[in-house]
Structure 1
């Protein structure tokens, strides 16, 4: 995710534990529901392990996946790290969580960071166990690892890298310094997915819009992928929604791909619910037309959804950090930097923004 999140030491202290109780009801996925209405819920296993309770809009205790499914969410995004030091987002945890998502009747969108920790435009650290490999051996490891992911987790959508504006697995896969090697790594990963599961959709993910996104995806023309993924946050990528629209249209038409706003979020308040510094907390960081209120958060997301649907190439959206409530108490210095942008309020009750997941008839 974001560079600011890399500064949170709390993430290095998390204890691995999953809770498979109270999973959502087993419901079939609607096969013709093509517009992706997704939520990244990667923190949920950790938050559940620390005995956090979520409530639906009727203030009834409810499993978070159930609340999302009932709201109309059809896809859950999950990040995967290679060998995290605290087992959060590890292979085994993600495999178990992905099974829960499938049992709940939603699709699995896997974000493979190809790193042991956060990968984003400011950091793309190669997994420690791959650091000293030759480039040939690195490619082989990428192939084997990707094969294992496809065989054991079987995602519906797989994202090759996370916000790979300057490549992945630095320094060997740096897009600026080692462009050919970066493209080779992306090619072997994508080709492995194609071989293992031709029906799985492959996404490449860029953080931002405008000229930078144009430059990046022009570099990717040799890669066999399906979806263009964009991160769009007003705090980092500007407040011009017209530029977001034009970027989606331009990229889709130029590359004949479907385009998704893979990450976005918005605050329902500028306040806070723990002592962990929030990423967004100032009026100048948001769009004036959408105040930091529950209704403003909802209206922002409805606008984003409608904007995507009105483009020729838009295929869906993903809400990031919706589960990341202040789960360690209101005085915790290592809780959440995102609780004022969650999909649940400071009492862990589902917010009105949940209606954005509703399927349009």
Structure 2
């Protein structure tokens, strides 16, 4: 996710707009449903900066503990770690990700690595080439392979091997723009260049760690037609991957019913397990730092009547997401990763900016855990 603007959530160019609005429990029942979710985790990439800003976290009982330990004690199984190539000082570079990986492993958490292949935020609205990288396709193909290989090896060398890796972050519109930009302003679609880069990144990841699971991650959680458009082309261009990853923010990506329909369709159409790689929901419409949030009272939440923007409503939403994932046939709804649920006021999305997601966290503005933290339990 990018926290800079809500406007980046435009429709995928050229994609179909099909959206299913009904749940499909009969499909799941016919194939059996999961009794638990193997992936229950969170992207905690801002955690070191928040701690440096003086933020402290408390569990539901009020005890001060490191955030990753609060999640692990609640039943979490994974941490997701963002890596930028050369970000502003203090932000999520490789050194910080490696240090947080050591903490995660001590807490008993597995690792999903999320290299953005950029110096800063990368998402469907922007995928800038790192300043120090080549700007031609042959050079970038070589660079993404070698960079990914060495990045993965660095995690293994320190005793924190990764378990899964995304080849880019929310790559719905391509990667490493403009060379790997999927949809150009003139309407051209660069599938060949884009998928060549994906294949090179995957190759590098497996050279670094042969048993790493490869995730392709887009931001179309409840958008079935858009998802088909993207992954049908991925299939046509023969990009190998292990897990189909989605972002799901209901204010941009549709209802829970549409999410369930899309996940079930993806599992059946592509024969891949599915993962919600990013997830968030408001527990309030108040603004913790008074400097603006990307989700407020004017935002459209499709299921807000069931799940109001309150701590209890947020907890109910997470329970409903668990149920949606369990409806995916054959236990192939792997689970979910909340996006920056620790990002309470204290650190901006860029230097000097606001914490624009501070009402989408799983801690209140003082750092006290909210009831939705119970969604990480194993059963």
Using the size of structure 1 for normalisation, the TM-score is: 0.87
Matched, 1:147 2:149: yes
1:197 to 200, 209, 233: 209
Q: 1:282: how far off?
A: 0.9
1:232 to 237, 248, 257: 248
**Partner SS state of residue 341, structure 1:** coil
Q: 1:288: how far off?
A: 2.1
CA displacement 1:282-303 (0-9 Å, x = unmatched): 1552222100111100000100
Matched, 1:321 2:340: yes
**Partner SS state of residue 261, structure 1:** strand
In 2, the alpha carbon distance for the partners of 1:310 and 1:43 equals 32
CA displacement 1:236-284 (0-9 Å, x = unmatched): 112x222111111111111111101111111111112212211111155
- Residues 38-49 of structure 1 aligned to structure 2 (within 5 Å): 38-49=41-52
Q: Residues 49 and 192 (structure 1 numbering): CA distance in 2 closer, same or farther, change over 3 Å? A: same
**Partner SS state of residue 317, structure 1:** strand
Q: Residues 262 and 298 (structure 1 numbering): CA distance in 2 closer, same or farther, change over 3 Å? A: same
In 2, the alpha carbon distance for the partners of 1:115 and 1:328 equals 20
**Partner SS state of residue 285, structure 1:** coil
In 1, the alpha carbon distance for the partners of 2:269 and 2:154 equals 35
Q: 1:227: how far off?
A: 0.7
**Partner SS state of residue 165, structure 2:** strand
Matched, 1:212 2:226: yes
Q: Look up the match of 2:256.
A: 241
**Partner SS state of residue 289, structure 2:** coil
Q: Residues 84 and 259 (structure 1 numbering): CA distance in 2 closer, same or farther, change over 3 Å? A: same
CA displacement 1:65-87 (0-9 Å, x = unmatched): 11111000110111111111324
Check whether the contact 1:35–1:316 (CA below 8 A) recurs between aligned residues.
Answer: yes
Matched, 1:269 2:284: yes
1:293 to 299, 310, 332: 310
Where relative contact order (Cα < 8 A, 6+ residues apart) is larger, the structure is: 2
**Partner SS state of residue 51, structure 2:** helix
2:119 to 116, 119, 122: 116
Check whether the contact 1:276–1:333 (CA below 8 A) recurs between aligned residues.
Answer: no
Q: Residues 136 and 333 (structure 1 numbering): CA distance in 2 closer, same or farther, change over 3 Å? A: closer
**Partner SS state of residue 244, structure 1:** helix
- Residues 1-361 of structure 1 aligned to structure 2 (within 5 Å): 1-2=1-2, 4-5=4-5, 35-132=38-135, 134-153=136-155, 154-176=161-183, 177-208=189-220, 209-221=223-235, 222-238=238-254, 240-282=255-297, 284-286=299-301, 287-312=304-329, 313-327=332-346, 334-360=353-379
**Partner SS state of residue 229, structure 1:** strand
In 2, the alpha carbon distance for the partners of 1:173 and 1:304 equals 33
Check whether the contact 2:40–2:376 (CA below 8 A) recurs between aligned residues.
Answer: yes
**Partner SS state of residue 80, structure 2:** strand
In 2, the alpha carbon distance for the partners of 1:276 and 1:305 equals 32
In 1, the alpha carbon distance for the partners of 2:101 and 2:138 equals 31
In 2, the alpha carbon distance for the partners of 1:174 and 1:3 equals 21
Task: Note the aligned Cα RMSD (angstroms).
Answer: 1.9
Using the size of structure 2 for normalisation, the TM-score is: 0.83
In 2, the alpha carbon distance for the partners of 1:303 and 1:183 equals 34
In 1, the alpha carbon distance for the partners of 2:5 and 2:107 equals 29
Q: Look up the match of 1:29.
A: none
Residue segments in structure 1 that go unaligned for 5+ positions in a row: 8-32
